[in-house]
Structure 1
């Protein structure tokens, strides 16, 4: 029968041997705790293959982090690493599923979106061409207000004029557009 504290002493000795370069001591730790680690990650991942892979990765993490272990209870420390790793894997799986779902969603609409994109590009080119047909004093305010989304105040400061002047130019530009352009020109 094992006495209380015997496991801690044994683990401490094995850990020190690993830190001294005796890899066989780490194999003994793996043998001792592999079922505990597997059960821990399986409880989170709920998949045998994933849990087996995760358990191996956990032991690699433990080996790499062993120098940071501070004798605070090896099994607890190891379990915390296993839980965190399994949770990270679960999150990655969820993200992968979301990405696959998003790709699947866009597959069906690729042709539609490509067609829409081409039409929008043609529309923008047509609008630019038509904007160039505007008288220059109207072009600046139409472009500034509708394309660059500037306020009356911003445009007035840039052109060094009163806000009322910008309002008047915009009003006249809209009237010119109504008079000279037809909606059919843009379709």
Structure 2
């Protein structure tokens, strides 16, 4: 079904686009904040995302506006985070090297992946959410998770296996690259 407000915005109505912003600005901010975890950076990125949405609107093909908008917001936030990481690396390059660049890169990628998983965690069925958060985000061992949940380690292994299957089936790979 074609949303008339989106159609008006696509056809150049600034008023319709302002209404879209009002309707979705909190959601877009939350998506961006979920990746950046910094109020000021998320506010700045939100402004940039709305500009991207405005310029990309003619290419929108009515296949889930919220999903389309989310993809733009999250991808932009990831780009911002990478840009900031590169700037930090440049500053670190000027300092004496204590860690190899590979270690720093792996740490940054792991942190970035954690943020992506966190931003998508609400989509995961509740039965898997706790084990995913414990293992991937809090980096707990199978044994620690089993002790916390008062279950056998094999139960945790099974839950993680099923959670991974669910994630592969429901999450698009390009969202996590």
The equivalent position to 1:23 in structure 2, one of 3, 14, 23, is 14
Instruction: Give the structure, 1 or 2, with the largest relative contact order (CA under 8 Å, sep 6 or more).
Output: 2
1:19: how far off? 2.3
The equivalent position to 1:83 in structure 2, one of 62, 66, 74, is 74
Partner residue of 2:39?
Answer: 48
Partner residue of 1:32?
Answer: 23
Structure 1 residue ranges (4+ consecutive) displaced by more than 6 angstroms after TM superposition:
none
Distance 2:44 2:77 in 1: 10
- Secondary structure of the corresponding residue to residue 72 of structure 1: coil
Residue correspondence of structure 1 range 174-185 to structure 2 within 5 A: none
Residue correspondence of structure 1 range 135-146 to structure 2 within 5 A: none
Q: Rg bigger for which structure?
A: 1
Distance 1:88 1:18 in 2: 26
Partner residue of 2:83?
Answer: 92
Q: Count residues with an aligned counterpart.
A: 97
Q: Which runs of 5+ in 1 are unaligned?
A: 1-7, 107-187
Residue correspondence of structure 1 range 34-183 to structure 2 within 5 A: 34-105=25-96
- Secondary structure of the corresponding residue to residue 29 of structure 2: helix
If the length of structure 1 is used for normalisation, what is the TM-score? 0.50
Distance 2:83 2:48 in 1: 15
Distance 2:6 2:74 in 1: 21
1:21: how far off? 2.1
How much is the aligned-residue C-alpha RMSD, in angstroms?
Answer: 1.5
- Secondary structure of the corresponding residue to residue 95 of structure 2: helix
Distance 1:56 1:93 in 2: 17
Please give the per-residue CA displacement for 1:17-71, whole angstroms capped at 9, x wherever unaligned.
Answer: 1222210100000000000000000010000000001111111000000011010
Please give the per-residue CA displacement for 1:92-120, whole angstroms capped at 9, x wherever unaligned.
Answer: 111000001112349xxxxxxxxxxxxxx
If the length of structure 2 is used for normalisation, what is the TM-score? 0.52
Distance 1:85 1:44 in 2: 10
Q: Which runs of 5+ in 2 are unaligned?
A: 98-177
